[in-house]
Amino acid sequence: MKRPTLADVATLAGVSAKTVSNVLLGRPHVSAATRAKVQAAIEEAGYEAGHATSQAGRGLASGRTGRIAVVVPNLYQPYFAEQAERLILALAERGFTTTLRIAHDRAGERDAVLGVTTADVDGVIICPHHLSDEQLAGAAPRRPAVALGGAPIKALDCVLMAEYAGFLAITRHLLATGRRKLAFVWNGPVGAAPTGDRYAGFLAALEEHGIEHDPSLVANSSDWDRRATGYEAMVGLLRRCGPRFDAAVCVNDTMAVGVLKALRTHGIRVPEDVAVTGFDDTDEGEFTIPSLSSGSPDQGSMVDAAVRLLIERLDGYDGAARQVHTGTHLLIRDSSASA
């Protein structure tokens, strides 16, 4: 038996296929009488609304593909892998299919946002590593694009995580447990001073307690996406300074996992000798030994906000770029228990 189509519903209702798709998409400008007529035709035809219906409706109404590009720098960093999965599932719930793209450098991120490598989709949600207004150089995206995480970008709708607040809370927690000599493990070249909201939140908490951070207790690394760089950063710090710190504040969970191993291999107990904290609340942190204390940037709220901003753009919003700031909360586990 032939499955009823959108066109069949339109014929039964005596309206256009575009009107049927507007009803299926819940658009507000359809009259109550027309909406009731289309709903009755849907039931009479036995037309199944759902994922395929949403895509078909969008396609007929606007010529769209119903497909969104989810762009991440890599998948070996648990944070990006988890965010990509959250985005794919959240978009599927709203009737979109997705295509996953890897943009591993500045040029790749710029090309994804500007449509060079994403010409086959209706919109883009990117979790950027490098993207900036300077990179875009005034160029306008060819299709709606939302940045999820990363630095603020004036040209795009952005969902910004509470990095400052998260590190302020993490550092306050460590100070409340009696730690006073805190190392900072970050992604920067040797000799360079840390920058950004995470470090600023860290310093603000120390200042509240009248503590000046010792620059020699900065552990540098080549990047912040690999456990190995966290390991190498901590080994380098121990070689330079020895274990003269009682906490290690890591810029994310991935590096913190490497730090835990480095401390263990050097006979330093966590948390008895040194407390360790991460950020991002990745699943991995719950299963390290000891389990990892972390700041959660509320990934679910971030994803929901990014999807909402994108759909509003697809539905016709053409106003100025918007910024949504999400919250953060602490997950205190064994790695930062009181000494």
pLDDT score recorded for residue 3:
63
Strands 97-102 and 67-72: parallel
Instruction: Give the model's confidence band at 115: pLDDT under 50 very low, under 70 low, under 90 confident, else very high.
Output: very high
Reported as a single tens digit per residue, the pLDDT across 162-187 is: 999 999 999 999 999 999 999 999 98
- CA torsion 235-237-238-239 (nearest 10°) is 90
pLDDT score recorded for residue 49:
53
pTM as predicted: 0.79
Among 42-51, 79-88, 220-229, 302-311, the minimum mean pLDDT is found in: 42-51
3-state secondary structure 219-270: ECCCCCCCHHHHHHHHHHHHHHHCCCCCEEEECCHHHHHHHHHHHHHCCCCC
The CA distance from 152 to 158, in Å, is: 7
Element (H, E) at 328: none
Sign of CA dihedral 17, 22, 26, 28: negative
DSSP three-state, residue 326: coil
- The predicted model gives 91-109 an average pLDDT of 94
pLDDT score recorded for residue 48:
62
Write down all domains in the chain, each with its CATH number in brackets: 6-62 (1.10.260.40), 67-161+298-326 (3.40.50.2300), 163-296 (3.40.50.2300)
pLDDT score recorded for residue 53:
46
Average pLDDT, the chain: 90
310 neighbors 146 (Cβ within 8 angstroms)? yes
pLDDT score recorded for residue 157:
97
Reported as a single tens digit per residue, the pLDDT across 49-94 is: 544 444 445 454 455 789 999 999 999 999 999 999 999 999 999 9
Share of the chain above pLDDT 70, in %: 91
Please tell me which residue, 138 or 210, carries the higher pLDDT value.
210
Total number of residues shown for the chain: 339
- CA neighbours within 13 Å on the CB side: how many for 22? 16
The residue ranges of DSSP E strands in 131-255, in sequence order, are 145-148, 157-160, 182-185, 218-219, 247-250
